[in-house]
């Protein structure tokens, strides 16, 4: 159980993309690094030590919950990027036709992540990889101009908007490990805003004790995948970032997220009080994620400027 309860190390997506291109005889064009990173992250999730554990129902694997939550965090980022590639990166405008391979890969990644009955989860995700590989082959082929990857500032900003929401949610859930009294700000900033049902003006938000490590490892998996995607996009969107003078801002986001992958030197996820004697690993992780999220907000502002 200790052997299988393992988080993969970070890898260099740019080097992996180069090796992937050599192995499959792909040309190095705009979008190949990001697409290769998506393929490699999915491959790492499926073929890490112990394989894919989220749908294992036999002991001892059924007793492991840290890695399955890590896998779900990775999968969330994979789903967001696959959908953005389908809806934005591969399309020149809203009225353009979506790519056929990406249109098939995207829904396959939304298959139940914990299904063990046939067809099993791994088979669907591997099928999605095949469609991504087909898109990558067409993308690097100058004779097939229907496959494109548009590295534009608005496309990058669109994906970063999704990332911003994911990181904001994770930060809130991690911070709730110690419990907080929060004011209801759902309708703040708009005097005409309404909501479906009445909610309390003040509420206590607290992550259940048994779910603290689940949220922690889901956050670690999500940021692990995100680091690779950002490193790859620094290559594909390099011209855009340089024009906006945003390269350093982009790298700072990666630097903050890399801090979330420091080894956990504790046999368990500690949940001490905010200023108590023992550490609170959730609050430490929430700090790095919040800093990265703040940097993403600033970066989107830069990208949206003329």
Kindly report, residue by residue over 20-66, the tens digit of the pLDDT: 999 888 889 999 999 999 999 999 999 999 899 998 888 777 778 89
pLDDT, position 88: 94
The tally of domains found in the chain comes to 1
CA 217 to chain centre: 13
The whole-model pTM stands at 0.93
Q: Show the domain range for 155.
A: 13-184+200-304
Does residue 210 belong to any structural domain of this protein? yes
pLDDT at 163 over 60: yes
Structural domain includes residue 189 = no
Express each pLDDT in 81-123 by its tens digit. Answer: 999 999 999 998 777 889 999 999 999 999 999 888 888 899 9
Q: Report if residue 3 sits inside a domain.
A: no
Is 280 inside any structural domain? yes
């Amino acid at each position: 159980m200790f052997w299988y309860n393992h988080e993969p190390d970070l890898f260099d997506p740019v080097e992996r993309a180069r090796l992937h291109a050599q192995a499959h005889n792909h040309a190095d064009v705009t979008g190949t690094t990001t697409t290769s990173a998506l393929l490699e992250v999915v491959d790492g999730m499926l073929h890490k030590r112990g394989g894919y554990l989220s749908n294992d129902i036999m002991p001892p694997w059924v007793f492991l919950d840290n890695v399955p939550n890590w896998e779900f965090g990775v999968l969330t980022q994979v789903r967001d990027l696959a959908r953005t590639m389908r809806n934005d990166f591969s399309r020149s405008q809203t009225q353009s036709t979506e790519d056929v391979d990406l249109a098939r890969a995207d829904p396959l990644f939304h298959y139940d992540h914990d299904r063990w009955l046939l067809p099993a989860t791994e088979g669907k995700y591997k099928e999605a990889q095949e469609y991504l590989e087909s898109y990558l082959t067409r993308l690097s082929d100058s004779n097939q101009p229907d496959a494109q990857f548009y590295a534009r500032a608005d496309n990058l900003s669109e994906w970063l908007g999704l990332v911003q929401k994911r990181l904001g949610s994770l930060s809130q859930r991690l911070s709730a490990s110690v419990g907080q009294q929060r004011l209801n700000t759902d309708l703040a900033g708009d005097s005409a805003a309404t909501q479906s049902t009445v909610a309390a003006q003040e509420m206590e938000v607290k992550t259940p004790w048994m779910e603290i490590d689940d949220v922690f490892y889901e956050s670690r998996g999500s940021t692990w995948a995100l680091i690779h995607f950002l490193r790859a996009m620094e290559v594909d969107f390099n011209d855009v970032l340089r024009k906006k003078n945003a390269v350093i801002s982009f790298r700072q986001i990666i630097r903050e997220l890399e801090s979330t992958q420091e080894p956990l030197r504790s046999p368990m996820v500690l949940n001490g009080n905010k200023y108590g004697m023992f550490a609170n690993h959730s609050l430490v992780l929430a700090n790095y994620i919040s800093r990265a999220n703040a940097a993403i907000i600033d970066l989107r502002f830069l990208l949206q400027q003329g």
